[in-house]
Amino acid sequence: MATLITKNPFTGEETARFSLETYSHAHEKLLSLKNAQISWRQLKLSQRLELVHEGLKYFDQNREKIAVDICEQIGRPLAHARNELNGFFERANYLCSIAESVLKPDKLEDKPGFERSIEHAPLGVVFVISAWNYPLLITVNSVIPALIAGNTVLLKHSSLTPKIGAHFEMAFKNLGPYKNLLIQTVIDHTVTGELIEKSPVDHVVFTGSVSGGRSILRHTSHKFMMPALELGGKDAAYVHSDADIQHAAETIVDGAMYNAGQSCCGMERAYVHESIYDDFIIKAKKLVDAYTIGDPTDESTSLGPLAQEKSVKIILEQINEAKKNGAKIISGGNIKKISAGTFFQATLLTDVKNNMQIMQEENFGPVLPVMKVHNMEEALRHINDSAYGLTAAIFTKNLKLAHEFAAQADVGTVFMNRCDYLDPALPWTGVKHSGCGSSLSKYGFYSVTRNKAIHFRTITKG
């Protein structure tokens, strides 16, 4: 068997070794999940919920170890890795809290002689293909609803973060007397496609690139299986003339720089009303200049190394193309090497145009381009002129204006006076190249279940 080796992006040291599984090995895992699902789905919902709560205790008992593993595998500052665990529990606990009300059968109006209802039946084995940039949050969105609803889970975590996948397996593989409920598989892209096409996978949840999403669609199409796809984003903010400028600058800069910009829902472009543009740039520059790069285990580090060195090429190409066409770098813009880590400085660009690559293509780096606009209509025109549609934000004191903005923004989520945050009570969804399907909220449960009609005639003649 080939071996997957992961390395710390800051020190270059090896952090883990996993055997890359063959199709045959992964298929056997899937069959064990298929068999386990038969008894798991027959449990009462309240019993499954209680056992999932037991599984969640593992993460609480191993908080620091998991945070360190995130830090060592993707280079995120340790303080930020700890914070991801807080978000993990916020989502997991909320999903658990609504499960019984969401999954109970929908009873129809009484009809003499008949009993009718709509049940939310599990799909079977859910194949969760997770991403590295938020290794806990992205995974918990699907794993918790899937298990509670009566599915079993085959988990393929990113090749950068298999240790996080192993934590999920430790927590949920065996719950009480029930075995093989969640199993991690470490496989390459070829085996992933084979598994979807040839093995009894009942549903696929994929988080990753647009090209990866297209590949998943090709593999699932002959099964008439619609996967849930969470893909790219080019999220934008509009700062209106009446906005609290300091708050807008702090929120947007944090949304652009957090996790070194390696987030599908990070702020990748800002449109600022011309009357406050200069003031916004002054405040944003001060904030961007304050970011500190360095050892991610150092509590003072606010910007870690890029998880993948190849990201530098994309970031530089976009910045250089923008500079060539008149954009100005107000802060940052340089690569820094510390130890074995490759860092990209927190970067602020002005004088950008909407047709530049940096305003159209995913950047996945700590870069914020800011464009001056005349009004909200112009901002919306630019925001919607994108292949992506994940989130958009408006900063204003005018609630009516925010509703008008929301009605016209072609995205899955619209924020007012905030950004880059997932509320577990709301569905996380995208349009256009940002994907299809929903996670979180009650719709996250509906995405891993199917409607099952119950139509009983309780009275017969004779």
pLDDT in tens, 89-98: 999 999 999 9
- What pLDDT is stored for residue 405 in this prediction? 99
- Distance between CA atoms of residues 251 and 286, nearest Å: 13
Q: How many CA atoms, within 13 angstroms, populate the side-chain half-sphere of residue 265?
A: 25
Helices 189-198 and 210-221: angle between axes, nearest 10 degrees:
30
CATH classification (class only), 3-231+434-455: alpha beta
- Distance between CA atoms of residues 84 and 92, nearest Å: 12
Domain boundaries, the chain: 3-231+434-455, 235-416
- What pLDDT is stored for residue 460 in this prediction? 85
H runs (alpha helix) in 104-182: 137-148, 162-172
- What pLDDT is stored for residue 283 in this prediction? 99
Cβ atoms of 151 and 103 within 8 Å: the answer is no
Residue type at position 237: A
Report CA-CA distances (Å) from 245 to 242, 276, 282, 284, 397.
8, 8, 10, 9, 11
- Tens-digit pLDDT profile for residues 398-431: 999 999 999 999 999 999 999 989 999 999 999 9
Which residue, among 268, 293, 254, has the nearest Cα to 77 in the 3D structure?
A: 293
Regions in the chain scoring below 70 on pLDDT: 462
- Overall fold of domain 235-416: Aldehyde Dehydrogenase; Chain A, domain 2 (3.40.309)
Predicted TM-score of the model (pTM): 0.97
- What pLDDT is stored for residue 330 in this prediction? 98
Give the residues across from 344 on adjacent strands: 335
Residue type at position 452: K
- Distance between CA atoms of residues 258 and 346, nearest Å: 10
- What pLDDT is stored for residue 420 in this prediction? 87
- What pLDDT is stored for residue 1 in this prediction? 72
Which residue, among 238, 240, 236, 237, has the nearest Cα to 398 in the 3D structure?
A: 240
- Active site (catalytic) residues: 230, 264
- What pLDDT is stored for residue 462 in this prediction? 58
